[in-house]
Amino acid sequence: MFYRLALSFGLILVSFIALEQTTLAQNVDVPFSGIVSGQAGFDSLTPGTTETTVSSSFSGIAQQFDSITSATVGINSSVPATITISPPQFVSGPSPDPSGTTRVAYLKFGSTQVRSDVSSGSGKLPVGNTDLQVDMLVKRPVAFTPGNYTYSVKLTITP
């Protein structure tokens, strides 16, 4: 009798386990989405050099800095973009720019020429790689104090 009870209990247990393990397979696709925005960025930079211009009215002392070698900047843009050039800013030197100093930056690429003092200093960049030439002019109403001067010109890209 004990044998039959054990056998019955074993069969019930095996049936229960067999039925319990039967499941239905299911799947679900989990979506992800995102935005790929257009990008424009600077690739390379080669600094430019300047030369002083001597004024006869200042007894042979320099009153003006002009570019003699253009700075070059490489740009890569995946969308049409706008480039804006700002006037040269005094970074360092023996004497800061006095009031009345004229500062103009020039930008050239392809057949486009942009000045920081005309039309907000902005131009349209094409899609792809573009090489820019950047020049500057700083003219003081008084002579420069002798020494080393550094100026910077800011370029801003807006896709």
CA dihedral 108, 112, 113, 119 (to 10 degrees): -130
124 domain residue, yes or no: yes
- Name the residue range of residue 152's domain: 40-158
50 domain residue, yes or no: yes
What pLDDT score was predicted for residue 28? Answer: 85
What pLDDT score was predicted for residue 19? Answer: 56
The answer on pLDDT for 15 being more than 80 is no
Higher pLDDT, 36 or 128: 128
27 domain residue, yes or no: no
Q: What percent of the chain has pLDDT over 70?
A: 82
The answer on pLDDT for 30 being more than 90 is no
Instruction: Report the pLDDT averaged over residues 102-110.
Output: 95
How far CA 94 is from CA of 47, 88, 144, 149, 157, in Å, comes to 21, 17, 9, 7, 32
Domain harbouring 54, CATH code: 2.60.40
Instruction: Report the pLDDT averaged over residues 133-158.
Output: 92
What pLDDT score was predicted for residue 102? Answer: 95
Total number of domains in the chain:
1
User: How do residues 45-99 score in pLDDT, each as one tens digit?
Assistant: 899 888 887 766 556 678 888 999 999 999 999 999 999 999 999 999 999 999 9
66 domain residue, yes or no: yes
94: helix, coil or strand?
A: coil
20 domain residue, yes or no: no
What pLDDT score was predicted for residue 25? Answer: 77
26 domain residue, yes or no: no
29 domain residue, yes or no: no
85 domain residue, yes or no: yes
Question: Using CA atoms, how far apart are residues 82 and 80, in angstroms rounded to an integer?
Answer: 7
What pLDDT score was predicted for residue 120? Answer: 84
